[in-house]
Copies of this chain bind each other. A is one copy, B any other.
């Protein structure tokens, strides 16, 4: 269980790192959306391995194929099945890890829960699992754009090195997808040093959405920020999620943290955005801002102590193709999960008010 997400725009992902492929079925995408394989490929290319020295050299083509739900270039309202066949599995690389539990990995918990595991390349808990998310995120993003909502993500920090500026033009200009050129350079130096010692780094991805109408999100449990927290925390290595001021909100006073309402250009707006665009669990019409903290890649070649299946303590060095930092490749995953939540909330929100329903069905309001 656990591989289906969403209430109306629902996705069902599948696939293991070294099985035949990975993919996703999207159920609930509205009919009439223009969609082709290039739309999906553009997203997948952002998470593809082998793009820089900071990502695993495994060179998967990661070619997306749409198998259903699209006819004459438009979605039909029926399930969209998207598949990426695995082409570069080298199972030999991984045979040793069948016998022990890698620190920081899901090897142990998989064995405890399921009794055994597909140990090749992490199986279902491999980063390749995110291909399904990202393919679906590409579709969700197209849906959002068709109603004027855009989602953008970038690397806010690598280790302790934080982007001080947020220059969107810079994001695609450096290998770490940071919106601050100087910070990106310092981060590269930091990573180079870690790689030499066989170590790895974590970091923070920030995601911003614009164009949201006020009111997206459901009250109490299915709040916009609650669903975002789940969606983002569900990404492999995420250990913390923040909305707006995030953890820092705990240190502010009410007069510092409250965003005052003002009139701007004749409309209600907020003088500041400590809330990160969410009030009472609903979008408040300003920019949505969230951050996700990624732990350092657990696969390191430096020596570590662990336990094998015979219950013996051993020392290991994790070999194979691994990223010293997964944050840059995770940027599009955070963006995709945010888009998936927003698409679902956008559709759910349509049934909030009787007057909207009556208008939709052509009934005159009273």
Grouping DSSP codes into helix (H, G, I), strand (E, B) and loop, the A interface class, with mixed when no group exceeds half, is: mixed
Contact: A363 with B159, CB < 8 Å? Answer: no
A115 touching B1 in the complex, CB below 8 Å, given contacts A67-B19, A241-B240, A300-B255: no
Cα(A2)–Cα(B27), bound, Å: 7
* Total identical chains: 4
Find chain B residues with CB under 8 A from A251 CB.
157, 159-160, 202
Find chain B residues with CB under 8 A from A295 CB.
245, 249-250, 252, 257, 274
Find chain B residues with CB under 8 A from A65 CB.
20
83-141 of chain A: CB within 8 A of chain B: 83, 101, 103-106, 108-110, 112-118, 123-125, 129
The minimal Cβ–Cβ distance linking A142 to chain B, given in whole angstroms, is 10
A239 nearest CB neighbor, chain B only: B249
Query: What is the total number of residues of chain A having a CB less than 8 Å from a CB of chain B?
Result: 168
Flag A221-255 by CB within 8 Å of B: 1 or 0 each.
11101111111111010111111111111111111
Contact: A363 with B14, CB < 8 Å? Answer: no
A20-B67, A239-B247, A261-B307 known; 9 new pairs, CB 8 Å cut-off, are A13-B221, A14-B27, A76-B117, A114-B215, A129-B220, A200-B253, A229-B232, A249-B294, A250-B294
Contact: A268 with B68, CB < 8 Å? Answer: no
Contact: B307 with A112, CB < 8 Å? Answer: no
A219 nearest CB neighbor, chain B only: B2
The residue in A7, A240, A305 that gathers the most chain B C-beta atoms within 10 A of its C-beta is: A240
